[in-house]
Amino acid sequence: MNKTQEIERSIIKTYRKDIWHNFIKGLQDYQMINEGDNVMVCISGGKDSFLLAKCIQELERHGKVHFTAHYVCMDPGYNEFNRQFIEDNAKLLGIPLEIFETNIFDAVSSGDFKNPCYFCAKMRRGYLYKQAKQLGCNKIALGHHMDDVIETTLLSMFYGAEVKTMMPKLHSENWDGVELIRPLFKVREEAIIRWRDGNDLTFINCACRFTEGCSLINDGTSKRKVVKEFIKKMKKDNPNIEHNIFVAMENVNLDCVIRYKKDGIEHSFLDEYDL
């Protein structure tokens, strides 16, 4: 058994309960992949997207639902080291990587943006939808995991003053016929890290030109980092804190909400208070 086969086997054997089972459960619970779908799996170079690619690949080979997949990496302007690092990992993992070029880093660096990360992410999303259309894909798979969902829920409350979360799937507002899905929705980051370390794998965290070398570090300055630390502290008193935050978004009681929005229209508890 070669290294690639060992990595593949670990997903369905060693980490079957925490990764494969939760991957399949997320797909089934939210009906993410259906018969005849053509899925564009987005690979950024990090641990999450590469694990996503391997799970989709395993499902494509042996699953009961018949679909096709393209394993795509968008090059926004990586330096030579990071580009080669991604290509080497794809080869090691046995992923038929399709790379397409963009000039996103040049575009962002030439502009006067207070938040270059926001504009970079927005431009990436546009290029991905365009590429999906060109490939004839009706779905785009991203590698967000359960911890991303939990953290996004708190980020929205703490910094956005609203209650909303990251959705397991959603239709594009600007690209007809294309749907975004998140197959790792119920997979914990801790399990992904164990899979990575258990197979002695190394992935980049960030290949951004503006923070060269960040593939090896995390500066800890982001709001998401603050939320991670908050959850870590809360977990000392309540070990179920992450599970509770995640499930809370499936148990919203509108009878106990002062105001909420539906399809852009605001509703109030007063609307039916005296009826």
- Residue-wise pLDDT tens digits, 99-153: 999 988 877 777 666 667 777 888 889 999 999 999 999 999 999 999 999 999 9
Is residue 219 predicted with pLDDT exceeding 50? no
Rounded to the nearest integer, the mean pLDDT of the chain is 92
Is residue 220 predicted with pLDDT exceeding 50? no
Q: pTM higher than 0.95, yes or no?
A: no
Contact between 38 and 137 under an 8 Å Cβ cutoff? The reply is: yes
Q: What pLDDT does 33 receive? A: 98
Kindly list the domain boundaries of the chain, sorted by start residue: 3-221
What fold is seen in the domain 3-221?
A: Rossmann fold (3.40.50)
Q: What pLDDT does 209 receive? A: 57
Q: Which is more confidently placed, 9 or 275?
A: 9
